[in-house]
């Protein structure tokens, strides 16, 4: 197990270098150099420009600049935002909990509803329930979530007035940001109204971001479950005289979840992509919202650093998924 | 003679297996309707998609109180006919889907086959590149590419094509590697066929099935991602009647005029659904192993 | 009273191509302490009939029988919950493929313990001891350690021993073994068979052994039933069957035994294959492959003739009319 983990971590290194190379290259594709971009229309004396270039290392050959960049990244220096002049790393850290909170809620929503639905559809295959669920899930998987979010706001917030339109908590409440996770902070602040407000702000974004994963998990669980139900060990479990629930959940679902777990892990990347849209629609102050704003403000250090950090997080999540997979599937355990 | 017969019989068997899946037939129907609408856009659209009727801002659809038959689905904030814009948007979406898929399919398959045939350092380099692209959430990478190249429909299409490349590369490489070990490839090689001929003439046709399925499903990804970029203001620019861009323009009016918001997104949903249903059906029909 | 009594059992599967009778008109009677072998080629319905008796035929399969009684209880009229109290406890089954019949996600000891817990066979505090005892009983060395192994960490023979331990865990009165040695190496086959017969004697269970191997039958069975294309074609005591088979199919099976073919240039085979879904002949199902078939055989299906326990389904039985 330890050796497997070590080998897996070694494999990350070339990917990491590739990711930094890509983010380095992309930024250098921006027309003009970063200093000109920052100076903008005001203009600058040529001597001053040359001096700045030398200071920031832009007169160096490309490979040298890349090595410098790589060194900075490894030491955790991602530059300063050109808008707020704050370190990119700090801004990311302060916003990331909001994104995690939303993503965790969305994945939990999708898992807790999608997997049982997929299992029931498999057990009742060919029935109206099965057809209905499969129809709904292919529709869910085809959903343009930016529109879906707007429709939900239109119905539940504007017409019915059940849920708030945007943000994480009502302005009425001030919550000390201990952890950055609004629900936890509200919990600790012991303010029931704030808790309720934070939870109600989470409902729509969770559903919107969770829709596509929900559809995928339900479909995957169903097909995986159908495969497993034909296995010999399920028949053995029945032959033991176990109850249907025990046969279907403890024996069949446990095995059916192995491929589903991979799909859940692989959906994290898509989820962060979806978070960009969801956060934009609901003005959710997370990393996705921040990156879109950085584009509008031409804040390239934020764009570059934010993207890189998200990629690094995905690498970490993928590693976690691999480890989880080996825990879940005894056959590949070493 | 017998050749055409067997082809006909195979097509028939394929169609029977495909038609068993009612969802797939529904998807095909949606696609056909969409293609017809796109092809006849000039005839079907009552108005120019960019003409602004200054007296008719935000006219509601015909069944609402102030609706009129002149604008069956109402008008937007600057008085353009929604229906005409949607119809022209269908043409755009299909065009975007087709261009993105064609570009990604061609480039991806070439890279994948090259990786499989050349092997060694080239294979490693290509597959590492794939790994790196896959680490980025695809929408995020597309956003970054467009942010750097500048917003616009062409750049958006380019970005979506780039982020969907890995799928085609992996798929074609994997199928080519399987085919390469088959006897007929060895035989063709022994007969002295060149590598290029072997790649495109012998091996490629035999790994087409998964690529076709992936490309069909790729249509929906392309349309969805391009629309998302349009929605974020990074794709097609107004007044282009691209569905995602139309949604972005409608944002401020959603409390007053639900129709400017509801219809473009619904059009995206129906289009993507059609391609997904058709693609799923195609996969089941082409690959009986996956079918249950 | 017989322990298991089955009369006119039929199993039907409905598919898009129509209905198919996998098992038709099967009778089984077995008493405590009996060893009954059911023999037949692959696809002859021998496993399906026993799965039906266990209530393990899943939808869209349909089971009917005039009588399906275990120890006086009508199995067909039981609710699923009542049936589960019998299945796995009083009737247990060992399957053909040990490698796929155990759940890959759980240690083998856990899987045995699950059966014990399901039927409250021993108090919870004793479950672990009982698992070790059972594994030891079926000849698994170092059972205290082996019980924590996953199925993929053990050989096929070891897994089959685990399956047997699981089957006997609740002291069943009837053990059904469905080709328990087919998937195993030849050297292991004998050990597993000996183990089964040994356990049967020790516990006084009834044992139904499903096999296609006449050699196994000769060594183990008290009584034999021969199945062909879903029908029982002959039943007899083992010695009688080997000495004087009545159905031409039984005779052909026996002739195909290498021991009996000594001195001949070639091992005799039965021409043709067992009829499938679409090619059922009229009349006797065996008539296209039978050397003795005449006009009657190809027009009219024969019934079982003779007394219960010594019957053949044949118009022209060997050794004179029944």
Q: What is the nearest CA distance from B137 to chain A, expressed in angstroms?
A: 5
pLDDT of residue C321: 47
Considering only CB atoms, B276 lies closest to which of A141, A292, A307, namely: A141
Q: Which residues contact A160 (CB under 8 A, 6 or more apart)?
A: none
Q: Residues C84-141: pLDDT tens digits? A: 888 989 999 999 889 999 999 999 999 999 999 999 888 989 999 999 999 998 889 9
Is the CB of residue A251 less than 8 Å away from at least one CB of chain C? yes
Nearest-Cα distance to chain A for B287, in Å, is 15
* B125 touches A: beta carbon within 8 Å: no
The rounded distance, in Å, linking the Cα atoms of C139 and C183 is 19
Q: Is the Cβ pair B265, A148 closer than 8 Å?
A: yes
pLDDT by residue (tens digit) across A38-54? 666 666 777 877 887 77
The per-residue pLDDT for range C71-81, each reduced to its tens digit, is 888 888 888 88
For residue range C177-212, what is the model confidence (pLDDT) as tens digits? 998 888 888 888 888 889 999 899 998 899 999 988
Among the three residues A246, A269, A285, which one is the final residue of a domain in this structure?
A: A285
Q: Over 70: is that where the pLDDT of B4 sits?
A: no
Over residues C225-250, mean pLDDT: 89
For chain C, percent of residues with pLDDT exceeding 90: 27
- pLDDT average, residue stretch B239-255: 86
Domain count, chain A: 2
pLDDT at C17: 66
The verdict on a CB contact (< 8 Å) between A254 and C105 is yes
Q: What is the mean pLDDT of residues B75-83?
A: 85
In the 3-class helix/strand/coil scheme, how is chain A assigned residue by residue?
Answer: CHHHHHHHHHHHHHHHHHHHHHHHHHHHCCCCCHHHHHHHHHCCCHHHHHHHHHHHCCCCCHHHHHHHHHHHHHCCCCCECCCCCCEHHHHHHHHHHHHHHHHHHHHHHHHHHHHHHHHHHHHCCCCHHHHHHHHHHHHHHCCCHHHHHHHHHHHHHHHCCCCCCCCCCCCCCCCCCCCCCHHHHHHHHCCHHHHHHHHHHHHHHHHHHHHHHHHHHHHHHHHHHHHHHCCHHHHHHHHCCCCHHHHHHHHHHHHHHHHHHHHHHHHHHHHHHHHHHHHHHCCCCCHHHHHHHHHHCCCHHHHHHHHHHHHHHHHHHHHHHHHHHHHHCHHHCC
When scoring A26, A146, A165, A226 by the number of chain B Cβ atoms within 10 A, the one with the most, hence best to mutate, is A146
Predicted TM-score of the model (pTM): 0.87
State how far the Cα of C304 lies from the Cα of C261, in Å rounded to an integer: 29
Element (H, E) at B209: helix B208-231
Residue A85 lies in a domain: no
**A257 to chain C: which residues are within 8 Å by CB?**
none
Does residue A166 sit in the same domain as residue A201? yes
What pLDDT is stored for residue C53 in this prediction? 86
Please name the residue of chain A whose CA is at the shortest distance from the CA of residue B129. Answer: A18
DSSP characters over C228-255: ETTEEEEEEEHHHHHHS--SHHHHHHHH
Q: Are C319 and C244 contacting, i.e. CB atoms less than 8 angstroms apart?
A: yes
Beta-carbon separation of C152 and A241 below 8 A: no
| Residues A52 and A147 occupy one common structural domain | no
Q: Is residue A40 left, alpha or beta, with left meaning phi > 0 and alpha meaning psi from -120 to 50?
A: left
Nearest-by-Cβ selection for C95 from A236, A244, A254: A236
Longest Cα–Cα distance of chain A, Å, equals: 87
Helix (H, G, I), strand (E, B) or coil at C18: strand
Decide if B144 touches A, using CB distance below 8 A: yes
* B14 or B99, greater pLDDT: B99
Helix (H, G, I), strand (E, B) or coil at C298: helix
C265 pLDDT more than 80: no
C173 close to A (CB below 8 A)? no
Residue B268 is nearest to which of A144, A158, A295, comparing CB atoms? A144
* CA-based torsion, C94, C100, C103, C107: positive or negative: positive
- In a shared domain, residues A119 and A257: yes
| Among C54, C78, C90, C101, the residue to mutate for chain A (most A Cβ within 10 A) | C101
Q: Do B148 and A27 touch (CB under 8 A)?
A: yes
Tell me: do A43 and A135 sit in the same domain.
no
Share of chain C above pLDDT 70, in %: 96
Distance CA B206, CA B189 (A): 16
CB atoms B136 and A144 under 8 Å: no
A174 and A225 assigned to the same domain: yes
Confidence of residue A9 (pLDDT cuts 50, 70, 90): confident
Q: Is the pLDDT of residue A35 over 80?
A: no
Q: Over chain A, what is the mean pLDDT? A: 87
By C-alpha distance, the chain A residue nearest C82 is A241
Find tokens 């589960």 and name the residue: C84
Mutate to test the interface with A, among B124, B138, B143, B216 (most CBs of A within 10 A): B143
Same domain, yes or no: A42 and A185: no
Q: Model ipTM?
A: 0.87
Closest CA–CA distance from residue B189 to any residue of chain A (Å): 35
Residue C322 binned pLDDT confidence (cut-offs 50, 70, 90): very low
- Cα of A142 to nearest chain C Cα, Å: 32
Those residues whose C-beta lies under 8 Å from the C-beta of residue C30, and which sit 6 or more positions away, are: C2, C3, C4, C36, C174, C206, C208
Same domain for A205 and A120?
A: yes
Cβ–Cβ below 8 Å for C102 and A241:
no
Residue A113 lies in a domain: yes
What pLDDT does residue B206 have? 78
**What is the average pLDDT value for chain C, to the nearest integer?**
86
Chains interfacing with B (3 or more CB pairs < 8 Å): A
Distance between start and end Cα atoms, chain A: 5
Q: Which residues in chain C are contacts of A239 at CB distance < 8 A?
A: 54, 56, 87-88, 92-93, 95
C100 touches chain A (CB under 8 A): yes
Does A41 reside within a domain?
yes
Asked if the structure places residue A182 within a domain, the reply is yes
pLDDT for residue A277: 94
Residue B148: per-residue pLDDT = 87
H helix or E strand, kind and range, residue B71: none
Contact C298, C224 (CB under 8 A): no
**DSSP for residue C77:** G
In angstroms, the separation between the Cα of residue B30 and the nearest Cα of chain A is 13
Average pLDDT value for chain B: 87
Residue A91 lies in a domain: no
Pairwise CB contact (< 8 Å): B254 & A272: no
* Residues constituting chain B: 292
Q: Are residues A34 and A114 in the same domain?
A: no
Q: Across A269-273, C108-112, C309-313, which has the greatest mean pLDDT?
A: C108-112
By residue count, chain C amounts to 322
Q: Give residue A59's domain range.
A: 2-74
Is the residue at A45 inside a domain? yes
Q: What local confidence, expressed as pLDDT, does residue B291 receive?
A: 42
- CATH code where residue A154 lies: 1.10.3720.10
A280 vs B232: CB contact, 8 Å cut-off? yes
Higher pLDDT, B98 or B202: B98
Give the three-state DSSP class for B51.
Answer: coil
Which residue of A lies nearest to C176 if distances are taken between CA atoms? A239
- Which residues, other chains included, contact C193 with Cβ-Cβ below 8 Å and sequence gap of 6+? C180, C181, C216, C219, C220
pLDDT in tens, A212-250: 999 999 999 999 999 999 899 999 999 999 999 999 999
Of B234, C322, B48, C57, whose CA–CA distance to A239 is shortest? Answer: C57
Residue recorded with tokens 């349909």: C62
Q: Is B184 exposed, middle or buried (0-12, 13-18, 19+ CB in 10 A)?
A: exposed
**Contacting residues of C for A259, CB less than 8 Å apart:** none
The b-or-e profile of C161-180 (16+ CB within 10 A means b, else e) is bbbbbbbbbbebbbbbbbbb
- Cβ-Cβ contacts under 8 Å for B228 (sequence gap 6 or more): A144, A146, A277, B139, B235, B244
Q: Which residues of A touch B247 (CB under 8 A)?
A: 146-147, 150
Position A263 in a domain: yes
Residue of A nearest to C58 (CA): A235
Encode pLDDT of A54-88 as tens digits: 777 777 788 888 888 888 888 888 888 888 889 99
Residue B78: what pLDDT?
82
The answer to whether residues B166 and B105 touch, using CB atoms and an 8 Å cutoff, is no
Domain end, chosen from A74, A107, A124, is at A74
Chain A to chain B, count of Cβ pairs less than 8 Å apart? 133
Rounded to a whole number of angstroms, the distance from the CA of A42 to the nearest CA of chain B is 22
pLDDT at C276 over 80: no
Contacts of B143 in chain A (CB under 8 A): 276, 291-292, 295
The residue among A250, A268, A285 that closes a domain is A285
Q: Which of residues 238-277 of B touch A (CB under 8 A)?
A: 244, 247, 251, 254-255, 258, 261-262, 264-266, 268-269, 272-273, 276-277
- Poorest-pLDDT segment among A149-163, C131-145, C264-278: C264-278
- The whole-angstrom separation of Cα B105 and Cα B111 is 10
pLDDT at B3 exceeding the cut of 50: no
CA-to-CA distance for A109 and A216, rounded, in angstroms?
13
Cα C23 from Cα A188, distance rounded (Å): 67
Residue C1 to residues A158, A325, B82, C5, C71, Cα–Cα distance (Å): 76, 53, 83, 9, 8
Residues of chain A contacting B276 with CB distance shorter than 8 Å: 138, 141-142
Window 208-237 of A, Cβ < 8 Å to C:
231-233, 235-237
pLDDT at A32: 61
C313 phi/psi in degrees, rounded to 5: -100, 80
pLDDT at A37 over 70: no
- A32 and A101 together in one domain: no
Q: Is the domain of A57 the same as that of A117?
A: no
Q: CB A241 to CB C95 under 8 A?
A: no
Task: Give the CA count within 13 Å in the CB-facing half-sphere of C50.
Answer: 28
Query: Are both A112 and A234 inside the same structural domain?
Result: yes
Selected for mutation to probe chain C from A123, A233, A250, A332 (highest C CB count within 10 Å) is: A233
Is residue A176 assigned to a domain? yes
In this complex, how many residue pairs, one in chain A and one in chain C, have their CB atoms less than 8 Å apart?
A: 68
Tell whether A59 and A131 lie within a shared domain: no
Task: Give the one of A238, A242, A330 whose C-beta lies nearest to C56's C-beta.
Answer: A238
Residue A334 predicted with pLDDT over 60: no
pLDDT score for A42: 63
C101: nearest CB among A236, A242, A246: A236
Residues of chain C contacting residue A233, judged by C-beta atoms under 8 Å apart: 100-104
Output the pLDDT for position B1. 39
Residues A239, C114: C-beta atoms closer than 8 Å: no
Residue A43, by phi and psi: left (phi above 0), alpha (psi -120 to 50) or beta? left
List pLDDT tens digits, range A91-133.
999 999 999 999 999 999 999 999 999 999 999 988 999 999 9
CB < 8 Å to A139, chain B: 269, 273
């Amino acid at each position: 197990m330890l050796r497997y983990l070590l080998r897996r971590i070694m494999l990350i290194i070339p990917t990491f270098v590739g990711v930094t190379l890509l983010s380095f290259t992309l930024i250098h594709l921006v027309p003009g150099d970063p200093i000109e971009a920052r100076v903008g229309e005001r203009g600058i004396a040529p001597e001053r420009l040359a001096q700045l270039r030398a200071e920031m290392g832009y007169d160096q050959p490309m490979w040298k600049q890349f090595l410098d960049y790589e060194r900075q990244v490894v030491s955790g220096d991602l530059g300063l935002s050109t808008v707020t002049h704050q370190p990119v790393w700090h801004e990311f850290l302060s916003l990331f909990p909001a994104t995690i909170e939303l993503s965790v809620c969305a994945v939990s929503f999708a898992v807790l509803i999608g997997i049982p639905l997929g299992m029931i559809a498999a057990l009742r295959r060919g029935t109206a329930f099965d057809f209905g669920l499969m129809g709904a899930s292919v529709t869910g998987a085809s959903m343009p979530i930016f529109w879906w979010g707007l429709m939900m706001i239109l119905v539940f917030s504007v017409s019915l007035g059940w849920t708030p339109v945007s943000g994480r908590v009502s302005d009425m409440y001030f919550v000390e940001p201990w952890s950055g996770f609004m629900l936890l902070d509200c919990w600790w602040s012991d303010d029931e109204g704030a808790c309720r407000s934070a939870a109600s702000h989470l409902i729509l974004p969770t559903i919107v971001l969770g829709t596509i994963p929900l559809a995928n998990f339900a479909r995957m669980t169903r097909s995986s479950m159908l495969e497993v139900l034909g296995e010999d060990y399920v028949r053995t479990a029945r032959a033991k005289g176990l109850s249907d629930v025990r046969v279907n959940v403890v024996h069949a679902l446990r095995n059916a979840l192995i491929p589903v777990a991979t799909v859940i892990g692989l959906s994290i990347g898509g989820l962060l992509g979806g978070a960009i849209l969801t956060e934009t629609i609901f003005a959710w102050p997370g990393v996705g919202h921040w990156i879109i704003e950085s584009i509008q403000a031409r804040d390239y250090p934020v764009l570059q650093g934010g993207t890189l950090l998200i990629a690094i997080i995905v690498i970490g999540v993928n590693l976690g998924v691999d480890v989880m997979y080996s825990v879940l599937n005894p056959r590949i355990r070493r | 003679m017998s050749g055409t017969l067997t082809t006909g019989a195979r097509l028939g068997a394929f169609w029977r297996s495909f038609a068993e899946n009612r969802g797939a037939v529904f998807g095909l129907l949606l696609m056909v309707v969409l293609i017809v609408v796109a092809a006849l856009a000039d005839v079907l659209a009552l108005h120019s998609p960019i003409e602004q009727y200054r007296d008719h801002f935000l006219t509601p659809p015909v069944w609402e109180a102030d609706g009129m038959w002149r604008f069956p689905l109402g008008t937007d904030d600057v008085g353009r006919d929604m229906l005409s814009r949607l119809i022209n948007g269908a043409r755009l979406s299909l065009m975007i889907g087709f261009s993105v898929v064609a570009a990604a399919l061609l480039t991806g398959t070439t890279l994948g086959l090259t990786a499989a045939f050349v092997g060694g350092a080239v294979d490693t380099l290509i597959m590492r590149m794939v790994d790196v692209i896959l680490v980025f959430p695809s929408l995020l990478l597309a956003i970054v590419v467009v942010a750097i190249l500048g917003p616009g429909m062409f750049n958006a299409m380019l970005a979506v094509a780039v982020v969907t490349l890995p799928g085609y590369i992996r798929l074609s490489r994997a199928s080519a590697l399987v085919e390469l070990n088959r006897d007929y490839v060895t035989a063709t090689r022994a007969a002295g066929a060149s590598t290029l001929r072997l790649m495109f003439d012998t091996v490629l046709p035999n790994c087409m099935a998964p690529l076709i399925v992936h490309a069909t499903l790729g249509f929906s990804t392309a349309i969805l991602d391009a629309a998302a970029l349009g929605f974020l203001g990074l794709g097609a620019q107004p007044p282009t009647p691209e569905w995602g861009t139309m949604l972005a323009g409608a944002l401020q009016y959603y409390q007053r005029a639900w129709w400017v918001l509801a219809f473009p997104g619904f059009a995206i949903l129906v289009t993507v659904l059609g391609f997904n249903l058709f693609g799923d059906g195609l996969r089941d029909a082409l690959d009986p192993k996956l079918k249950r | 009273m017989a322990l298991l009594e089955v009369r006119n059992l039929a199993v039907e599967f409905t598919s898009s191509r129509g209905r198919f009778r996998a098992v038709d008109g099967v009778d089984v009677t077995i008493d405590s302490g009996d060893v009954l072998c059911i023999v037949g080629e692959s696809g002859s319905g021998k496993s399906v009939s026993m799965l039906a008796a266990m209530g393990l035929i899943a939808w869209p399969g349909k089971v009917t029988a005039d009588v399906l009684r275990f120890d006086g209880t009508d199995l067909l009229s039981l609710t699923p919950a009542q049936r589960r109290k019998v299945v796995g406890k009083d009737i247990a089954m060992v399957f053909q493929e040990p490698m796929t019949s155990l759940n890959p996600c759980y240690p083998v000891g856990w899987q045995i313990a699950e059966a014990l817990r399901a039927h409250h066979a021993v108090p919870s505090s004793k479950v672990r001891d009982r698992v070790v005892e059972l594994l030891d009983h079926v000849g698994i060395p170092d059972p205290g350690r082996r019980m924590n192994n996953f199925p993929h960490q053990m050989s096929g023979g070891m897994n089959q021993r685990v399956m047997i331990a699981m089957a006997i865990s609740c002291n069943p009165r009837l053990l059904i073994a469905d080709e328990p040695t087919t998937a195993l190496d030849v050297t292991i086959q004998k050990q597993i068979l000996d183990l089964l017969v040994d356990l049967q004697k020790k516990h006084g269970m009834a044992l139904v052994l499903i096999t296609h191997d006449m050699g196994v039958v000769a060594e183990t069975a008290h009584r034999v039933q021969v199945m062909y294309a879903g029908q029982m074609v002959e039943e007899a005591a083992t010695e009688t069957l080997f000495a004087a088979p009545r159905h031409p199919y039984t005779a052909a099976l026996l002739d195909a035994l290498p021991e009996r073919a000594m001195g001949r240039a070639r091992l005799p085979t039965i021409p043709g294959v067992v009829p499938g879904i679409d090619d059922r002949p009229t009349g006797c199902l065996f008539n296209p492959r039978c050397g003795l078939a005449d006009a009657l055989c190809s027009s009219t299906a024969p019934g079982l003739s003779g007394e219960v326990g010594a019957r053949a389904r044949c118009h022209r039985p060997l050794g004179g009319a029944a």
